[in-house]
């Protein structure tokens, strides 16, 4: 009797495994197959490509890889929002830039670039505690909407990528966000939006100062950039914060090139992917002639030479947003 119950249970669980697709928003094709095969191989003990659990590090760019970045990074809209709600204008040489932003059209914002956005946010928020900053990000995210897609940014997260993160977590990987965006900006929502805790978020970081008196403490933001987390700096901050070479890297633009090279140069089996925005109907289609998320011909060539996977949003994803 017990044995029959056991066999029935086994049958049931096997059936569940066979019918539950961990990547339902991915169409059948080479990208989906490559991801599933990679995960199966490196997690199968005894397989020549087996990788121990503690070394299963996966890194994800954020803007354009995990959520929408067009026509401009979400953090730029946050900056614009903060400028509009400024109690008083800052002094000095940046006053001009800030004043321009007050009347900004989207084009001047786009031209700023992610590092400059972080620098300006740094200037606006000098003296703000990190707690106040986190609250201001969360408040903004709760009310802000993407001007074209007319939805909150936290709903403009790519469902297929959430499925990849979950698949990796279920298989003993540790997923990190490695973004040019502000580290504290992303940490304010990453746990709720992506299920990625603060210690696994690496971004452009400003220096903070610790103050303490009589049991009450705070961290205060300074305008000093510790690092601009793009291009080769992404490899450097992974080294600094994690100290291991990743075996999975997902990016979508020239700013992710070195992160993918770093991942791919390892001796372990690895998986490097680029999300290509080629879906004008459901999201955006853009390549090299843009300020944001440049996907240059050089990047495409490097990908083809190294057999990196180029994910077509149009063809590989049957659903875009969560």
The answer to whether residue 297 forms part of the interface with its own copies (CB under 8 A) is: no
CB burial class (10 A; 0-12, 13-18, 19+) of residue 316? buried
b/e code 74-92 from CB counts within 10 Å (16+ = b): bbbbbbbebbeeeeeebee
Q: What mask of x and - would describe binding to its own copies in positions 155 to 194, judged by CB under 8 A? A: ----------------------------xx--x-------
CB of 215 to its own copies, least distance (A): 6
CB of 283 to its own copies, least distance (A): 30
For its own copies, give the closer residue by CB, 160 or 255: 255
Q: Which one among 19, 143, 215, 307 touches its own copies, defined by CB under 8 A?
A: 215
Residue 155, both tokens: 């709903």
The answer to whether residue 195 forms part of the interface with its own copies (CB under 8 A) is: no
Total residues interacting with its own copies, rule: CB under 8 A:
35
Pairwise CA distance, residues 297 & 299, whole Å? 5
Pairwise CA distance, residues 100 & 104, whole Å? 6
The answer to whether residue 282 forms part of the interface with its own copies (CB under 8 A) is: no
Candidate ranges 7-15, 111-119, 162-170, 213-221; the one touching its own copies (CB under 8 A): 213-221
Q: Which one among 162, 167, 242, 285 touches its own copies, defined by CB under 8 A?
A: 242
Pairwise CA distance, residues 89 & 108, whole Å? 19
Q: Which one among 146, 154, 169, 244 touches its own copies, defined by CB under 8 A?
A: 244
For its own copies, give the closer residue by CB, 134 or 154: 134
For its own copies, give the closer residue by CB, 45 or 212: 212
Q: Which one among 241, 269, 288, 290 touches its own copies, defined by CB under 8 A?
A: 241
Evaluate whether 118 touches 182 at the Cβ level (below 8 Å). yes
The answer to whether residue 307 forms part of the interface with its own copies (CB under 8 A) is: no
- The residues that bridge with 248 in the sheet, in sequence order, are 58, 271
Q: Which one among 235, 275, 292, 303 touches its own copies, defined by CB under 8 A?
A: 235
Q: Which one among 216, 267, 281, 297 touches its own copies, defined by CB under 8 A?
A: 216
Q: Which residues bind its own copies (CB under 8 A)?
A: 54, 130, 183-184, 187, 197-199, 201, 205, 207-210, 212, 215-217, 219, 226, 232-233, 235-236, 239-244, 258, 261-262, 264-265
């Amino acid at each position: 009797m017990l044995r029959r119950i056991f066999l029935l249970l086994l049958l049931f669980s096997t059936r569940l495994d066979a019918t539950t697709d961990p990547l339902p928003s991915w169409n059948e094709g080479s990208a989906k197959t490559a991801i599933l095969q990679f995960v199966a191989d490196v997690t199968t003990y005894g397989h020549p490509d087996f990788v121990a659990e503690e070394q299963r590090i996966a890194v994800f760019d954020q803007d354009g890889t995990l959520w929408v970045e067009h026509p401009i990074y979400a953090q730029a809209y946050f900056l614009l929002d903060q400028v509009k709600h400024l109690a008083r204008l800052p002094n000095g040489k940046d006053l001009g830039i800030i004043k321009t932003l007050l009347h900004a059209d989207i084009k001047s914002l786009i031209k700023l670039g992610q590092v400059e956005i972080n620098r300006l946010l740094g200037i606006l928020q000098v003296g703000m505690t990190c707690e106040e900053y986190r609250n201001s990000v969360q408040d903004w995210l709760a009310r802000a909407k993407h001007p074209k897609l007319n939805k909150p940014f936290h709903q403009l997260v790519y469902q297929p990528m959430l499925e990849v993160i979950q698949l990796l977590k279920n298989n003993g990987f540790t997923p990190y966000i490695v973004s040019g965006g502000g580290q504290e900006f992303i940490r304010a929502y990453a746990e709720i939006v992506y299920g990625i805790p603060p210690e696994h978020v690496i971004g452009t970081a400003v220096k903070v100062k610790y103050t303490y008196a009589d049991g009450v403490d705070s961290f205060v933001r300074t305008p000093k950039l510790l690092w601009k987390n793009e291009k080769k700096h992404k490899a450097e901050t992974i080294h600094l914060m994690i100290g291991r070479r990743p075996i999975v890297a997902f990016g979508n633009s020239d700013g992710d090139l070195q992160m993918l090279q770093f991942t791919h140069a390892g001796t372990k089996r690895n998986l490097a992917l680029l999300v290509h925005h080629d879906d004008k109907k459901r999201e955006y289609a853009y390549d090299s002639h843009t300020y944001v998320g440049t996907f240059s011909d050089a990047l495409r060539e490097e990908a083809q030479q190294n057999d990196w996977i180029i994910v077509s949003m149009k063809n590989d994803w049957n659903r875009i947003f969560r």
